[in-house]
Structure 1
Amino acid sequence: MSRTVYVNGDYLPEADAKVSIFDRGFLMADGVYEVTSVLDGKLIDFEGHAVRLARSLAELEMASPIGDDDLAGMFRELVRLNRIEQGMIYLQITRGNPGDRSFVFPDASVPSTIVAFTQDVPNLAEPPVAKVGFKVITIPDLRWDRVDIKTTQLLYPSMGKMLARKAGCDDSWFVADGAVTEGTSNNAYIVKGNRIITRQLGSDILHGITRAAVLRFAAEAQFEVEERAFTVAEAQAADEAFSTAASIFVMPVVEIDGKTVGTGKPGPVAVRLREIYLEEMRKTAI
């Protein structure tokens, strides 16, 4: 069945959806995006994604073409039209089509381009890989210095995913100045005893919406949370490791650069945090 997608105010069959070749999202990666999960036909942590979207747009001096209420309504309509029970909604907003290619930002009168589509993931809440955990490799972090802005500049993360695949692994963790920054599309954590360690917020990591929720739930569950950089050696010697993102929730990491982490199986902290996250997010879904 063909998906119904959203393009600049219209709901269209995906085959009929078109964006200009002069759109700056296509030519310059001049745009931002968000991915919102859907569980039981409802939006997960919508408010957090809306706040981060507004921040990303502001950092790039882009006006928002849609208000939060209208955005939530559009997401719900896409979920309804595409009969999504579990899955994701991808949203992208670009600086639009100025009519020709130029490095200079177009005049503010040029309307933004806004597109959105759903992805049906029936086993999003219980994917088989969550039972065995991720294997990751580490690679140099060669991204630009403002990865806290959720832009569509995803070529290097994509290359990182492919390097992991070639190594027979699930993901790559980026390393800068000897310390782990984050995964290709997720935040990274290690566990020592009752302490959860993850890199502090800054311009060198994405301010993850799932990260914020998981750390809040971890504190409420009486885990210690320490926000600081950690090395690859620390991660390999940790009791557990895991990653978080809207697409994977809390994903145990059982191997780093070929070295087993902990027992080599998903650890109790990551497993429990995944359970708590899913339970609490379902309560507040809209």
Structure 2
Amino acid sequence: MSRYAYVNSAFVPHRAASVHIEDRGFQFGDAVYEVWSVRDGHLLDEQGHFERLYRSLDQLDIRFERSQSAMQVTIHELLRRNRIREGLVYLQISRGVAPRDHAFPATNTPPTIVLTAKRFSFSAAGRRAEQGVRVITHEDERWDRCDIKSVNLLANVLAKQAAREEGAYEAWLVDKAGLVTEGSSTTAWIVNADGALVTRPLDNHILHGITRKTVVAVANAMSIPLIERAFTPAEAKSAREAFITSASSFVMPVVQIDDKMIGNGAPGSLSLSLRDEYLRAQ
């Protein structure tokens, strides 16, 4: 656990960090968040995560005046205080503290800022990638603005728990049309019979993954064909390869979906190459 957290304008002992009971993030989930991986002391895909953060704030009309450069200084000071060179940084910004009312509070209500940092073993994630992971399919019960990285994650939590109860690493969410949207906390990908990458296009029904964005750039540099379209669970189960992407798993091969092995049941060569190239690009 981190020794220090950052709440609003103060670095405080992690065990003593707290927010007011009428904070709108606690009362309504009226907040956004971001997560950065930290490797060798620097933030991976740093700019992309900041751009998504400020877009999410704008979409929810949360008035946050602190600049990106100021936030970068605060984040790196938090990492220094916690002596973290390899880990994860979590940032949450809510609409602030106000008497409980569904409508927005007064415009001069200051937002609440919470930052935490923890160590994370990417070597363990690398060993997991060598074996590959299993995912299950699960009904997508989320709201229609999944492109906003809000803290409204109850449906994601329930899907992740369903996966864990079945001994799986992740749940791929399936919409009412029978198409895979994304994982409970990851982006879903397959490799078709022609060796092309297939992943759902960016819209309001999926989070605009920052790792996804970098993997697309890496694939283009490697001259790997990319098709942005939705796919069914049946298509995924018959794919040549499958994998997921996220800030903490990077590129993680999927070797089983529900009870169906993918390919020969081992991590695919293209998935592993993309993982290597992604890390090399950082």
Shorter chain as denominator, the TM-score bin is: over 0.9
For the Cα contact (< 8 Å) 1:22–1:97, is it kept in 2? yes
Residue correspondence of structure 1 range 146-157 to structure 2 within 5 A: 146-157=145-156
Q: Per-residue deviation at 1:84?
A: 1.0
Tell me, yes or no, if the aligned pair for 1:196 and 1:223 is still in contact at 8 Å. Answer: yes
Q: Does 1:82 align with 2:59?
A: no
Report the CA distance between 1:271 and its aligned residue.
Answer: 0.3
Answer yes or no: is the 8 Å Cα contact 1:196–1:225 preserved in 2.
Answer: yes
When residues 118 and 107 of structure 1 are mapped into structure 2, their CA distance, relative to the original with a 3 A threshold, is: same
Matched residue count: 280
Once the 2 structures are TM-superposed, how far is the Cα of residue 107 of structure 1 from its aligned partner? 1.0
Q: 1-side partners of 2:31 and 2:162: how far apart?
A: 26
What displacement does 1:83 show? 1.1
Could you list the runs of 5+ residues in structure 1 that have no partner in the other structure?
282-286
1:193-212 → structure 2 map (5 Å cutoff): 193-212=194-213
CA contact (8 A) 2:2 2:118 kept: no
Q: Give unpaired runs (5+ residues) of structure 2.
A: none
Q: What's the secondary structure of 2:243's corresponding residue?
A: strand
Deviation at 1:66, TM superposition (A): 1.7
Taking the aligned partners of 1:127 and 1:11, their CA distance within structure 2 comes to: 32
Counterparts in 2 of 1:36-55, with a 5 A limit? 36-55=36-55
User: CA–CA distance in 2 between the matches of 1:166 and 1:79?
Assistant: 34
Q: Which amino acid aligns with 2:101?
A: S
Partner of 2:112: 113
Counterpart of 2:60 in structure 1 is: 60
Superposition RMSD in Å: 1.2
Closer/same/farther in 2, CA of residues 210 and 124 from structure 1, 3 Å limit: farther
Distance apart, 1:125 and its partner CA: 7.3
| d(CA) in 2 for partners of 1:105, 1:2 | 33
Q: Tell me the alpha carbon deviations over residues 43-101 of structure 1, each in whole angstroms, 9 at most, x when there is no partner.
A: 11111011000100010011124210011111111111111121110000000001x11
Q: Distance in 2 between matches of 1:136 and 1:116?
A: 30
Check if 1:277 corresponds to 2:240. Answer: no
Alignment of 1:135-174 (within 5 A): 135-174=134-173
Q: Is the 8 A contact 1:57 1:63 kept in 2?
A: yes
Partner of 1:229: 230
Does the aligned pair in 1 maintain the 2:2–2:117 contact within 8 Å? no
TM-score normalised by length of structure 2: 0.97
Structure 1 Cα separation of the partners of residues 143 and 9 of structure 2:
32
Partner of residue 213, structure 1: 214
Match of residue 268 from structure 1: 269
Q: TM-score, normalised by structure 1?
A: 0.95
The aligned counterpart of 2:102 is 103
Q: Which residue of 1 aligns with 2:178?
A: 178
